[in-house]
Structures are given as C-alpha cells and as structure tokens.
Chains A and B, each alone.
Chain A
Amino acid sequence: MKVIDFVEGIKKISKKKINIMEFCGTHTHEIFRYGIRDILPENINLLSGPGCPVCVTSEEDIDYIIFLSEKYNFGIITFGDLINVPGSSESLNHLRAKGKEVIVVYSPLEAINIAKGNKDKNYVLIGIGFETTAPNLAYTLIKIKEENIKNLYFLSLHKLTPPAMKAILDRGEIRLDGIIGPGHVSTIIGRRGWEDVFNRYNIPFVIMGFKPEEILYGIYLLVMNIENGKPSLINAYKKSVKEEGNEKALEIMYKVFKKGSAHWRGLGIIEESGLILRDEFEDLDIKRIYPMKIESKKNPLCKCGEVLRGVLKPIDCPLYGKVCTPETPKGPCMVSSEGTCSAYYIYGRR
C-alpha cells in the first residue's frame, strides 16, 4: 500500500475531532519532515509530547553539571545536543568556551579512554536518554567497575517513558484520544511495557515505525480504534518490537539502575520516572558524593514546559522564532533536532 492509500483510508473512516499525541522525538521529527500533518484531515490534531530526552532535561540538572565543573573542576563528558541546553543562565557550551573541559563523545565507552588517559583529573560522564540508551550506559558502567577506573564518575539523567505519559494523562490539561507509541523505546520494553498505561487509561495505543507509510498506517489503526470505540493496544511495528521487548537489554539496564525520581522540564519531579544507580554502583554516583540542592531560575517567557505537555504550540511562545531559534536556543525544545520547537522551525511552520 502507498501513502496516498492510507491517507484516503483515514479520510474515509475519520469522523470525530480527535487529539493524537506522539511520545517519541523521532516521530516528531519524521512527522514534520514529511509534512504528515498537512495531508491528514483537519479533524485530526497531532500533538507532540515529551519524547526528546534532551528537551526534558531540567534547568536544575544543567546547573548541577555546571556547578561540578566550576566548583570541583570536573571534566564533563556528554553527548551532542545536551551541551546547548540552557540552564538558569548558561549552557555547557558556554562553560566550554570559558575554558572548562567539556568533551562531547559519540559513544559512552570513549569516556573510559579519556579517564584512563588523564589520570590526574576527575571526570563525570552524563548519562542521558530513555530506555533506548540506558542499556548502553549500563554496559559502560559495568566496564568502569571492571577496569577499576577511579577518576570517572556518573550522573544519571536517564528517564523512563511510561511515567511521563502517565503524568501528562493525569494532569488532564489536554484530552487525548489516541497515542502514537514510541517505536524505539518499545523495542526495549516491548508491547508488554505499555500494558500498565493502557489498562489504566484505556486510550487507543498503537506502537509504530518511523517511515511515513508506517506512521500513516499506525494513524489509520488509531483512527479506526477511536471511531469504533473499542480501544486496544496494538503493535504495528512488529519487525522491530517484540511482545516482551529486548530482555537482554532490560536485564543489563536493571542490573545497574533502579527506578527513582527524576526532574522533567515542564512536568516537574515525577517519582519512579528516572533511572538511578543501584547501591553496588554508589561509588560512581556523583550525586551521592556531591549531593547538592540547586535552586534554578527559570526563564518565565520560555514555554517549553507547555509545549512538551501539548498544551501550547511552539508558535504560541513569545520567544519562538524571535529570540529563540536553533542557532540561539532559549529552551531545550529548540536545541535538539527532535525537539518540537526545532522541528516547527526547521520544517517551516512559522
């Protein structure tokens, strides 16, 4: 079947005015990249949820990293987009420009080589991402232990997707009629990983892939589900997502991490929504070594929180496109290419 057939199919069966939310940054990006919002009938409203791990990083966490660098001279090892996320007053990018050591790596294992090569300096590896990246970081942490590296610590900003979904649904700020289930996260947690959310809220839920055909097919299934009033939890991405997920990845993830509270931009602190280090890894846990309560200043004009919850569209933010652009992001949703504001801006929804 072609894209046009799915679109025609959707138009034929879609009657109600509905809100559908995606919870994965790659879906956000692909939906904008292919102009999928433009070819759907007007009664279907696609909303982007908190699906980009960089975008949900809180000001407090960025400020804490800056504090570690400025106060204790830790070298910071992190992944690409995080360095552009603004904290209260500056980003890691500013920190680096001021001469502090901030190293961007592509693979967490690089951190081990950096620490080994500079034994007289202490480093913190910042772990960020959802269920998709956490197993990889868990593997790195096991390696750090095995190799007995003493000058490399870890800060976990890892977050879990189902609790964020629950938080949005519990707030009730928007009425959601259907959910686009994140393809990548589902490869790890499986269809099974969503049963809890589905059973609690009984909203049609379709796990889908990332090609435009796959997204439109998934939306077709969602609309059908919504229209016939019989919500179900469907895996429409079977080539990558198994019922039980990736058990090996989950095993290594929970060998190193356990569930704990996490601070989400826009959603605040959510219990059991993050991954923190287990006690066996406490000697690597920078937060246990330097516990620090950070009082961050928030930019009152930045509407990333509302955008992440689907309450506002980026164009409703007073900063959007004026002072906040991908070149000079004021909020994290404009930083990552998977952020809603960035996708809006780059793909021309001015």
Chain B
Amino acid sequence: MEDIILLSHGSGGEQTRKLIEEEILKYLGNEILEELLDSGIFNIEGRLAFTTDSFVISPIFFNGGDIGKLSIYGTINDLSVMGARPLYLSVGFIIEEGLTLNEFRRILQSMSFASRECGVKVITGDTKVVERGKGDKIFVNTSGIGVIERDLDWRGRKIEEGDLIIINGGIGEHGLSLMLQRLGVKVGEEVKSDLAPLNSLTLPLLSLCHGIKFMRDPTRGGVAGVLNEIARKYNVEIEIEEEKIPIKDWVKYASEVLGIDPLYSANEGKVVIIVERGEADKVMEFLSKHELGKEGRIIGEVKGKGNRVYLKTRIGTKRILDPLKKDLLPRIC
C-alpha cells in the first residue's frame, strides 16, 4: 500500500516529528531550520522587503512546474521586482489527508531545487493536516525576506509622459496552459507555464539602469491588470499596441478557442517594466542577452496624466483596456 499523509501527521506527535525530520529537513534543511526552534533566528543589515503569498493551484503538478516551485518562485518574484535580494523564506503547508508521501516528496524536492537555485534558505515552517474534503491535496504559504541595496529601490522615481513600457517575453502562458491542462486537452511540449524566478533578471537590470521606475510581475489579472494598477496609482494614461505584444502562437490559438484574452491571463515568469525613454535601449539590450528576456519587447508608453489604459488594436482603432472584472479561472496560483 502506498504511504499517504494522515491526520496524525499533523497532530504534533511522533508522526509529525518523523515527517519533519525525515522528509522536510531532508529536502529543505539548513543550519537555521535544523535547530527546530519556534522561530528561525538570523541577522540581516539594511533595508528589508517582506512579502507573503499563498498557493492553492489545481492541479498541483502542471506543465512547466508544480506547487512547490511555484510557491518558492512566486515569493522570490515579489521580492525581486522590488529590487530586493531574496534571503530567507518561511513555508507553511496545509495538507489534505490522503496526499501520497511520494507526491509530498516530489513537491519538497522541487522546493529544494528552487530555493538552492535562487540562493534562499527556508528557515521556519509549519505543517497542518486537514480532513479529506476540507482542502485540495495541498496548499502552501510562503513568506520571504530580502534586502534592498540602496540603488535598486525604484520607488521614488516619478513616472512621466514618454516613459516606455516593456515586458520580458510572451504573455498569458501560465493561465492558458493551466486551463488547457484542466480541460484535458492533449498538447505539445511547448504548451507550458512560464514559471521562472526573476531575481537573476531584475536585480542586475536594476543595478544597470537607474531609469527604471516600476516593476511588477503580472500574475492574476495579467498584464492588463498591472497596467491598470499603474494608471490608477500614479495617475497616468498608458497606451499599448496590440501588434507589439509578444504572444506565442499556441497562446494565440488557445486564447481564441477558450475566449480568454492573453492580456488578462496570468504569468509567473514575466515582469512589466517602466523605464525612462533614454534608457530603454539599455534595458532591451540586457533583456536580449538574458534567458528570460530574449522575447522582450517595448509594448507601449506613458501618455501623460490620466487613469486609464488604452489599447491600439491591430486594425488601428483604440479602445479602453479595462482591468479584469471577474475571475477568468480560479485556483491558478
């Protein structure tokens, strides 16, 4: 019989101890976590960034990743777009009884790989088990702390008319690949989530270009969502051009079949960048040499004061690009 997670694994007794020591520590262990104290203790100097995110994705293993990688990269990306170098993470698991131990191990292995890749340590955590039917296999929460070097903090820079809007590659891939997978559509290898850690892209880019005025990863709500947040928060009008937006062919096809606009579909390895016009070439050159930026494009510009986003369609008409008004697809991150 295959080993599965039971309620007793979360009861705080012997089985909990075994799960933590023999499984979790095996994959995520480090000198701070291995102390197994109520808090992880550490020193950091400087300006700190702190973020949290919960992951409830279904299915937990998907084309291009799994909930383990997603939960590490998701928090890494929230720190990275703010110019913070990710250092430490907390991880909370809520497991529905019945998850197989092998599935849990695959997730841990994936988290171990992702955290080593990004140079972060998981220094505190928690595991709870809920009754069957009260969860969906596994939910993961991660929080992360990073440190911001002085020059990388873009927050004080004013977004103005003429600034350009850049995206580092094809949009909509995470959301649409998930949807196709849930539909059970048989797809080729190229159809996968764009899940990737952005720290290796954003941090060197921010130290290279001090004319970068904004960065955000367009997850739920997609690129259209982020642009609308910018327009409202900074009181600017934004215009993007449909023809300049990088979209892979399979995304176009899937979006037509499913009736979902890629501009609203979630991404997990993309960043929307606003940069002053004079530095755009420098950004584009950097992106062209980076694995996660090769397909990068300038997609539009800041038009002046306002609070709306406009899209110039490929037939030359212009229309409002509203923020998403309802859930396209629940449980994608």
Contact = CB atoms under 8 A, between A and B. Distances in A.
A106 interface: yes
B317 A35 contact: yes
B240 to A, nearest CB: 14
A34 B316 CA distance: 9
B325 A38 contact: no
B320 A327 contact: no
Provide the main secondary structure of the chain B interface: loop
B316 A327 contact: no
Given A34-B313, A34-B317, A345 B325 contact: yes
A212 interface: yes
19 contacts: A3-B315, A4-B315, A26-B259, A32-B319, A34-B313, A34-B315, A35-B315, A39-B315, A39-B317, A84-B326, A106-B179, A106-B184, A212-B314, A212-B315, A213-B315, A327-B325, A342-B325, A346-B322, A347-B319
A347 B320 contact: yes
Nearest to A348: B320
Contact of B317 (A26, A38, A213, A337): A38
B183 A106 contact: yes
Given A4-B315, A39-B316, 9 more contacts: A3-B316, A34-B319, A39-B315, A212-B315, A325-B325, A327-B325, A346-B325, A347-B319, A348-B322
Contacts of B184: 106-107
Contact of A33 (B179, B316, B319): B319
Contacts of B318: 35
B326 A326 contact: yes
Interface residues of A, number: 26
Task: Output the residue of B261, B315, B318 with the most chain A CB within 10 A.
Answer: B315
Interface string A129-169: 00000000000000000000000000000000000000000
Contacts of B259: 26, 29, 337-338
Interface string B131-142: 000000000000
Interface string A1-44: 00110000000000000000000001001001111101100000
Q: Which 5 A-B pairs have the closest CB atoms?
A: A348-B320, A35-B317, A326-B325, A3-B315, A106-B183
Task: Output the residue of B182, B314, B316, B318 with the most chain A CB within 10 A.
Answer: B316
B326 A327 contact: yes
Contacts of B179: 106
A270 to B, nearest CB: 26
A250 B319 CA distance: 39
A214 B182 CA distance: 32
Interface of A: 3-4, 26, 29, 32-36, 38-39, 84, 106-107, 212-213, 325-327, 337-338, 342, 345-348
Interface in B153-190: 179, 182-184
B321 to A, nearest CB: 8
A77 to B, nearest CB: 15
A106 B58 CA distance: 14
Interface string B175-217: 0000100111000000000000000000000000000000000
A348 B184 CA distance: 35
Contacts of A33: 261, 313, 319
A38 B322 CA distance: 18
Interface in B303-329: 313-320, 322, 325-326
Contacts of B319: 32-35, 347-348
A3 B326 CA distance: 32
A348 B323 CA distance: 11
A83 to B, nearest CB: 11
B144 to A, nearest CB: 31
Nearest to B184: A107
A106 B182 contact: yes
A5 to B, nearest CB: 11
Contact of B322 (A35, A212, A347): A347
A4 B317 CA distance: 11
A36 B317 contact: yes
Task: Output the residue of A84, A212, A345, A348 with the most chain B CB within 10 A.
Answer: A348
Interface in B235-259: 259
B254 to A, nearest CB: 13
B59 to A, nearest CB: 13
A326 B316 CA distance: 27
A325 B182 CA distance: 28
Nearest to B261: A33
A215 to B, nearest CB: 10
A348 B317 CA distance: 13
Nearest to A84: B326
A29 B256 CA distance: 12
Contacts of A106: 179, 182-184
A4 B325 contact: no
A342 B261 CA distance: 14
B238 to A, nearest CB: 14
Interface in B279-321: 313-320
Contacts of B325: 325-327, 342, 345-346
B316 A4 contact: yes
B48 to A, nearest CB: 35
